[in-house]
Structure 1
Amino acid sequence: MTGSIAGIERFDSPGKGRGLRVTKPFKTGELLFSTPAHSYVLSVKERGCYCEFCFTRKEGLARCGKCKKAFYCNAKCQDFNLYLSFLFLSLPSVALINHSCLPSVIVTYNGTSAEIRAVKNMQPGDEVLISYIDLLYPTDDRNNRLRESYYFSCDCQECKTKSKDKAKLKARKRSDPIEPEVISSMVRYARKTIREFRAFKQIKTPSELLEMCEQSLDEMGAVFDDANVYMLHMMYQAMGVCLYMEDPEGAIRYGEKILKHYCKLYPPYSLNVSSMYLKLGRLYMGMERYSVGVTALKKAMAIMEVAHGKNHSYLTELRKEITKK
């Protein structure tokens, strides 16, 4: 299956089943391989904004004359999209890439193709590994998510040593040390609050959701440091509500706190970090804080150049955005 892709081979990964590994060195940011999707579809909210075939975003898309629902750049894109329905694609599948909380690659998308790039220097024999989950959270949370969604637990070096858990569960410094039982109780409260917030998103008003965020942050803040991932989770939710309520100053206030710790807790070249730089950069630009806005956008671009490749359309648009001011 991988014989036609230079530098990649399939193998039996101990304890994991089938996997992929490299047979030659790859540098950080280098493309290992690209594979087109077997099938793909736009979400309802994106239909009419992107071409159904090439996923190009543009004005004036042409509505399909047959179904009257799909939109294309032109007749060529429409005809080729129908033709693709009958093709069998036999390139290496992303599904063969195993999980690790210490990933060696990242998967991003260029149109309808998945692109796999190294996020660290790789040597022959290194397994191609991605993360299936959000890596912000501590070991127990990550493995609970893996068991719930993928029916396995991770035994990577980070999960064995839990070396980052202390930083991720950081407690507030006080003259009288906080008892472990108090911290454990607050962790249970945080997890319960996160579940409740998820359930209430479709029910409560934005103002009520923001109040819920602020109350939980006050409660957790008596025990947890701002760097604690449960604090960061609720700050992120609060930032999202502020954005929805068109409160850029509130969004920036939360975003700046989040980003300070994201940079330390996420692995290098994390799209979660680049996304936060993008959000803050655009908020700064909208507030006419151009210097700090350009700085944030450039930091996002540095991560995206590794994750997406320097010639990706996202980078082209971002460069234009930066040069406007």
Structure 2
Amino acid sequence: MAPKLERFVSPGKGNGLRAAARIQRGELVHSAEPLACCVSNKLSRHVCHHCFSRQETLLRCSQCKMARYCNTTCQKQAWIGHKRECKCLKNLLPRIPTDSVRLAARIIFGLLNPSQSRSEELFTLEDHESHLSSMSEQKKQGLSQLASMLELYLQQEVSDLEVTSALPPSCQEPLSLIAKVTCNCFTISDGELQEIGVGLYPSLSLLNHDCRPNCVMVFVGTKLNLRAVRDINPEEELTISYIETLSLTEDRRRQLEDQYHFTCHCQLCDSQEKDGLMLSGNESKWCPLKEALPRLEGLKAESDWPALLENCSQLLSTVGDDVPDENLYKLKMTDMAIDASIHLGHWEEALGYGEKTLPVYRQYYPDPHPVHGVQLMRVGKLQHYLEHIEDALDTFKQAFKIIKLTHGVDHPMTTDLLMKMEECRSELDQKSSSCLRIEEN
């Protein structure tokens, strides 16, 4: 099959990827396995380190005490990649290296294994930019500390000679390798777009950013699927969003400059068209919501759900209708209230907050957008659980129209949605039959 994408030089951006032929909305453009990947430290107890699936209980590696697996099959299949890592983790105990250090080490381990060579790649580790020359001294110092940790992590298991033989010349300095990894790795997420790990996908690092992109990335385990969310013409550039786009233009630009070292001049940024909507309402009314968000995000990080829900409920009740639901800070707080309500089993409250967000998500995430699809599915599950069956079926149908395009018809999320819709139809049929029998009697 002819490739659907090709490497080219994008004006003003450097390297990029463009369509080699016409691509239809919802079409799978490219699939890629990572050169290296690892589960995020904060989720290491809950995600299998081989297949990246979430499980209630996982087997723990008896040596390093960190890696966890679904079962012995996953553990055996992971051993070839975990063997050297296991010794490094064990030698560093009780300290645990950061995600970027572990990913950099896994890249080295992978390149030392000839079976993992990828000659078909459009882009290689050598081609990646480190952006060291454009970094602030403060950021360089932070990366230097990570580079020192990488050296300490590897010192008893990988010799300097092996590193030199495995890595291309521009990556042999630990600082350069760490810089390339942090600038070019992707966050690996589950079907519901929740972070589970990080990985390096060399060819797809060529994709440039747009705050309103024509492609999205969705993962199945560690496999990255790139799908078109708009019809794309031959030679048109393929773009993705590097960041969460639900933020003000100045905040998006600042994040992109800090993390990826460029100033975004996409149509959404240059027009700033959504900023007015995000800041809708009287500033004196919504300012307390903005000021409270960092503290509430801290409560969420600590999983202090009772305190989070109490604070969110109180603040949202205080502003009431004085601040529109479209206001950025009110929306973020409402989303946190949903999370807290679900964790506490307050299903009616969660549904009330969830239904408020749907019209707003539709405005901020033009369809088909995976974030809107996942939010619809989330609300649909709450409606179904609370036996609002007709509402649930309608919400699931809306979600399916999006998810089948962003995730693909064979993705587990799409399959789950089809099952949910079938359950709703079956329950409505049973309800209709019961009502008919009652009328006949």
Partner of 2:241: 131
Among candidates 24, 27, 31, match of residue 28 of structure 2: 31
Alpha-carbon distance in structure 1 between the residues aligned to 2:205 and 2:291: 32
Among candidates 332, 335, 345, match of residue 246 of structure 1: 345
Q: Can you list the C-alpha shifts for 1:213-249, whole angstroms capped at 9, x where unaligned? A: 1343345557531221211111111111111211011
- Deviation of residue 290 (structure 1)? 1.8
* Match runs of 1:40-79 below 5 Å: 40-42=37-39, 52-55=49-52, 70-72=68-70, 75=73, 78-79=75-76
- Deviation of residue 187 (structure 1)? 6.0
Aligned-partner SS, 2:259: helix
- Deviation of residue 159 (structure 1)? 0.9
Quick check: 1:169–1:224 contact (8 Å CA) kept in 2?
Answer: no
- Deviation of residue 99 (structure 1)? 0.9
**Structure 2 segments unaligned to the other structure (5+ residues):** 82-109, 123-202, 425-441
Alpha-carbon distance in structure 1 between the residues aligned to 2:273 and 2:367: 16
Q: Can you list the C-alpha shifts for 1:155-210, whole angstroms capped at 9, x where unaligned? A: 00111112222223222xxxxxxxxxx63x55654432222222343569433322
Letter in 2 for 1:285: H
Quick check: 1:168–1:265 contact (8 Å CA) kept in 2?
Answer: no
- Deviation of residue 144 (structure 1)? 2.7
- Deviation of residue 59 (structure 1)? 9.6
Letter in 1 for 2:241: S
- Deviation of residue 25 (structure 1)? 0.8
Distance 1:42 1:322, change over 3 A: farther
Alpha-carbon distance in structure 1 between the residues aligned to 2:377 and 2:417: 9
Letter in 1 for 2:307: E
Distance 1:319 1:99, change over 3 A: same
Among candidates 287, 294, 309, match of residue 393 of structure 2: 294
Aligned-partner SS, 2:18: strand
Alpha-carbon distance in structure 1 between the residues aligned to 2:319 and 2:12: 39
Partner of 1:232: 331
Alpha-carbon distance in structure 2 between the residues aligned to 1:60 and 1:239: 26
Q: Does 1:158 align with 2:257?
A: no
Partner of 1:88: 117
Partner of 1:147: 257
* Match runs of 1:246-265 below 5 Å: 246-265=345-364
Among candidates 303, 307, 311, match of residue 406 of structure 2: 307
Partner of 1:270: 369
Alpha-carbon distance in structure 1 between the residues aligned to 2:410 and 2:19: 24
Bigger mean CA deviation after superposition, 268-277 or 256-265: 268-277
Bigger mean CA deviation after superposition, 41-50 or 15-24: 41-50
- Deviation of residue 94 (structure 1)? 2.2
Partner of 1:13: 10
Alpha-carbon distance in structure 1 between the residues aligned to 2:45 and 2:76: 18
Letter in 2 for 1:41: C
Partner of 1:177: none
Distance 1:52 1:5, change over 3 A: farther
Alpha-carbon distance in structure 1 between the residues aligned to 2:394 and 2:331: 23
- Deviation of residue 73 (structure 1)? 5.7
Alpha-carbon distance in structure 1 between the residues aligned to 2:53 and 2:76: 16
Alpha-carbon distance in structure 2 between the residues aligned to 1:108 and 1:48: 23
Aligned-partner SS, 2:213: coil
Residue identity (%): 31
- Deviation of residue 287 (structure 1)? 1.0
Q: Can you list the C-alpha shifts for 1:108-148, whole angstroms capped at 9, x where unaligned? A: 11222101010100011211111112222232232233234
- Deviation of residue 308 (structure 1)? 1.2
Distance 1:302 1:248, change over 3 A: same
State the TM-score, normalized to the length of structure 2.
0.62
Aligned-partner SS, 2:230: coil
Distance 1:187 1:125, change over 3 A: farther
Bigger mean CA deviation after superposition, 128-137 or 248-257: 128-137
Quick check: 1:64–1:72 contact (8 Å CA) kept in 2?
Answer: no
Quick check: 2:286–2:330 contact (8 Å CA) kept in 1?
Answer: no
Quick check: 2:47–2:68 contact (8 Å CA) kept in 1?
Answer: no
When you count helix as a share of all residues, which structure comes out higher? 2
Distance 1:46 1:317, change over 3 A: farther
Alpha-carbon distance in structure 1 between the residues aligned to 2:229 and 2:208: 15
Letter in 2 for 1:23: A
Q: Does 1:114 align with 2:227?
A: no
Distance 1:242 1:70, change over 3 A: closer
Quick check: 2:57–2:70 contact (8 Å CA) kept in 1?
Answer: no
Quick check: 1:221–1:231 contact (8 Å CA) kept in 2?
Answer: no
Alpha-carbon distance in structure 2 between the residues aligned to 1:60 and 1:290: 32
Distance 1:226 1:49, change over 3 A: closer
State the TM-score, normalized to the length of structure 1.
0.82
* Match runs of 1:170-249 below 5 Å: 170-171=280-281, 183=283, 189-202=288-301, 205-218=304-317, 220-221=319-320, 223-249=322-348
